[in-house]
Structures are given as C-alpha cells and as structure tokens.
Chains A and B, each alone.
Chain A
C-alpha cells in the first residue's frame, strides 16, 4: 500500500483530521492501480465520521440567466453568447418544485438565482417564496443568491433559510482565470458573514475548469480551511457559448480520485454530488463515487440542464443499502 494511504488511514480514518495540501496532492497523483484502495479508504472514512445516511437535495432556479458576472463556465452570464434567456419562476411554481422535491424523500430544497447579489425585488421574492414553501411543504430551505450584504444575511436568517450556498468555484490562485468581475476574496467575505450568522455554510466548486492537479489540491485545502458544513462537487459540463464551452470533460478516474481526495481533506463534511456527474462518471462512476466518499446527492434536474431521474438515484441508494437521511435527523 502506498505510504500516503497508510498515513491517511492513521490520521483521517483513526483520528478524524483531514490531510494537508501536500498530502492531498499525493493522493491526486496516485496511479490508477491504487484507485480501488483509495476509494475504499475514503468510503471507510465517510462511514466512520458521517455514517451511512445520504442527504438528498433538489435545486431550482428562481431567476435564470441575464447575470452581470462573467463566470466562464456559466451559461447564465449575460456577457456570453449563450442560448439561455432570462426568466423568473413564479411562487406557485416554486412551491410545486419544493413539493416534488420533498416527494423524493429529499430533506433539502435550494433556491438559486443567477445574480451578482440579490436586489430588493429578489429578496422580496425570496421572502414570499420561503414563507409559502414553509406553509405547504415539510422540507428545509437553502438559498444561493450570490454575494450578500450583512443586512441580507440577517434577512435570510429571519426568513428561516437554514443553509447558504456560495461556491468558491476553484482555488484562489486560479480564480482570476475563471471570473474577472469579482474576486475570490469577495466570495470569502460573504461566506464569513454567513458562518457568523449561524446559517450553515455550503461551499464547493467545479473541477475541470483548466486548473492543474496542484491547484485542485490547493482548492481542497482552502475548502478544508473554511470548514463548510457541505461541499457540493461539480464537474464541468461545457456549455455552448461560454468561454469554457470547448473544454474536455474530466476523465472518470480523475474525478473519482478527486472525490476521495476531498473526502480525505474533509472527513466530516457533507460531500455532495452536484452537476456534471452524468457526463463525467456515468451510471457506473456515480456508484463508485458513492462508495468512495460521497454522502449526498442532488436529485433530479439542475438549474439549466437535466439530471438523472430521482428514482434512478434513489434505487441506487437502496441497492447500496445507504438510507436517505430523514428530516428529523437534520435538526
């Protein structure tokens, strides 16, 4: 067994402490023949420190397209020649989406808007929408609305939003290659305010943006330093019309190595499959990831693209004997 796996077994599995950046890089450089042992170790870590439950979430776009920011992976930027048009979801449809999500057994419903940060109209829509959902559906509400002011953080807490997603997307050193309209540090500032508010912090990113393996390790270490409650892990799904529209997708074994590495960096976090897994990993890889450190999934469709039917993922979880985390277990 490679030395790094022995060290990870002692430090992460036995001790519950994450690997550091240099060690994460060693993990990411392991050859393919060591991948089965690596995935098994990451799975053991997940089972010991998180348990067998899988947290299931649905997401919906409240405000799609027309974003003033230039995140190079995103089809919702108004600065690129993307075919995605601006559209708002009405409140009855939002509540129905939450109801459909809850019907899958999901405990989380995340409302997302493609904005730099929310304006008054969006905050009013959120207030009305969260209230309507809480009156009609038994599910926890999360939000992802870009960068926030302290007043907006306080308003979301008051609305009853329990978790806030704001992805750093990639490591600090590579971020300027992906976004030029705001900085990594601005995102960090919002995350700091969210944490201090008492809302749970959800922060992850996208692999396959052109970052090096070293930068992938840097990103995992920076997320570990943030210590988020949840880390959604996306794999680039190249979108037509965006600057990254012609990039290749992440190779499946590299994706699995990254999943295991992120688990070994953050043994106690909720590590969630998010967008891109369908094209990067397919059905077999999705299964391997759930046996290699993942303990949460987004089911159904994403914001502008489609996912597997929720039943496919729920059947897989049943097959793997991984119970869906219940709502009572989230309080």
Chain B
C-alpha cells in the first residue's frame, strides 16, 4: 500500500504530515499501485481515477 498524497510506501517513513495535508487536498496517488490518478475537484467534492484500480470519490 502507498500514501495517497506523496506516493511513497505507506509503511516506510512518517506520513503524519501527509495525513494532515489530506484534510485540505484530494488524493493524488493510487494507494494500491502508486500510479498518479486523474483527479477532478468540484465545489462539493472530488473524484480520483486510477487507470488500473478505478474511481474513488469523496
């Protein structure tokens, strides 16, 4: 598994800052394969699409 903000392995390093930042950011990396996702932010939410693992949304 990978950090969905920085794309680094979730088990390596400290992702506390990433988790805090994610409160005001959508995910950018697929947590399953670390591919950069196509992210669309709209006024009330977001969607994030990984070509391999499909769509995530707020």
Residues of A bordering B, CB below 8 Å = 58-61, 64, 83-87, 89, 93, 96-97, 100-101, 104, 237, 240, 278-279, 299-307, 310
On whether the beta carbons of B39 and A93 are closer than 8 Å, the reply is no
Which of chain A's residues have a CB closer than 8 A to the CB of B23? 306
On whether the beta carbons of A83 and B29 are closer than 8 Å, the reply is yes
Which of chain B's residues have a CB closer than 8 A to the CB of A86? 38
Which of chain A's residues have a CB closer than 8 A to the CB of B39? 64, 84-85, 87, 304
Please measure, in the bound complex, the distance between the C-alpha atom of A232 and the C-alpha atom of B26, giving whole angstroms: 23
Min CB–CB distance B44 → chain A (angstroms): 5
On whether the beta carbons of A301 and B45 are closer than 8 Å, the reply is yes
On whether the beta carbons of A304 and B41 are closer than 8 Å, the reply is yes
Which of chain A's residues have a CB closer than 8 A to the CB of B25? 304-306
On whether the beta carbons of B42 and A240 are closer than 8 Å, the reply is no
Which of chain B's residues have a CB closer than 8 A to the CB of A304? 25-26, 39, 41
Given A85-B36, A87-B39: A305 and B24 interface contact (C-beta under 8 Å): yes
| Other-chain residue from A83, A300, A307, A310 in contact with B24 (beta carbon distance below 8 A) | A307
Q: Which residue of B lies closest to A90 (CB)?
A: B40
On whether the beta carbons of A60 and B43 are closer than 8 Å, the reply is yes
Which of chain B's residues have a CB closer than 8 A to the CB of A240? 6
Please measure, in the bound complex, the distance between the C-alpha atom of A59 and the C-alpha atom of B46, giving whole angstroms: 13
Min CB–CB distance A288 → chain B (angstroms): 20
Query: Total contacts A to B, CB within 8 angstroms?
Result: 69
Which of chain B's residues have a CB closer than 8 A to the CB of A307? 24
Min CB–CB distance B36 → chain A (angstroms): 5
Min CB–CB distance A81 → chain B (angstroms): 11
Given A84-B28, A240-B6, A307-B24: A301 and B46 interface contact (C-beta under 8 Å): yes
Q: Which residue of A lies closest to B35 (CB)?
A: A85
Please measure, in the bound complex, the distance between the C-alpha atom of A302 and the C-alpha atom of B43, giving whole angstroms: 7
On whether the beta carbons of A306 and B46 are closer than 8 Å, the reply is yes
Chain B 15-51, CB within 8 Å of chain A: the 1/0 string? 0000000011110110000001111111111100000
On whether the beta carbons of A85 and B37 are closer than 8 Å, the reply is yes
Q: Which residue of A lies closest to B42 (CB)?
A: A97
Please measure, in the bound complex, the distance between the C-alpha atom of A139 and the C-alpha atom of B1, giving whole angstroms: 43
On whether the beta carbons of A60 and B36 are closer than 8 Å, the reply is no
On whether the beta carbons of A301 and B28 are closer than 8 Å, the reply is no
Please measure, in the bound complex, the distance between the C-alpha atom of A86 and the C-alpha atom of B43, giving whole angstroms: 18
On whether the beta carbons of A303 and B41 are closer than 8 Å, the reply is yes
| Other-chain residue from B29, B37, B43 in contact with A59 (beta carbon distance below 8 A) | B43
Q: Which residue of A lies closest to B6 (CB)?
A: A240
On whether the beta carbons of A97 and B43 are closer than 8 Å, the reply is yes
Which of chain B's residues have a CB closer than 8 A to the CB of A100? 42-44
Please measure, in the bound complex, the distance between the C-alpha atom of A299 and the C-alpha atom of B40, giving whole angstroms: 17
Please measure, in the bound complex, the distance between the C-alpha atom of A277 and the C-alpha atom of B7, giving whole angstroms: 26
On whether the beta carbons of A93 and B40 are closer than 8 Å, the reply is yes
Q: Which residue of A lies closest to B26 (CB)?
A: A306
**28 A-B pairs in the complex with CB atoms less than 8 angstroms apart:** A58-B43, A60-B41, A61-B41, A64-B40, A64-B41, A84-B28, A85-B36, A86-B38, A93-B40, A93-B42, A97-B44, A100-B42, A100-B44, A104-B43, A278-B24, A299-B43, A300-B43, A300-B44, A301-B42, A301-B43, A301-B45, A301-B46, A302-B41, A303-B41, A305-B24, A306-B25, A306-B26, A306-B41
Instruction: Beyond the given A278-B24, A305-B24, A305-B25, please list 10 additional residue pairs across the A-B interface where CB-CB is below 8 A.
Output: A87-B39, A97-B43, A237-B24, A240-B6, A279-B24, A299-B43, A301-B41, A301-B45, A306-B24, A306-B46
Please measure, in the bound complex, the distance between the C-alpha atom of A31 and the C-alpha atom of B39, giving whole angstroms: 43
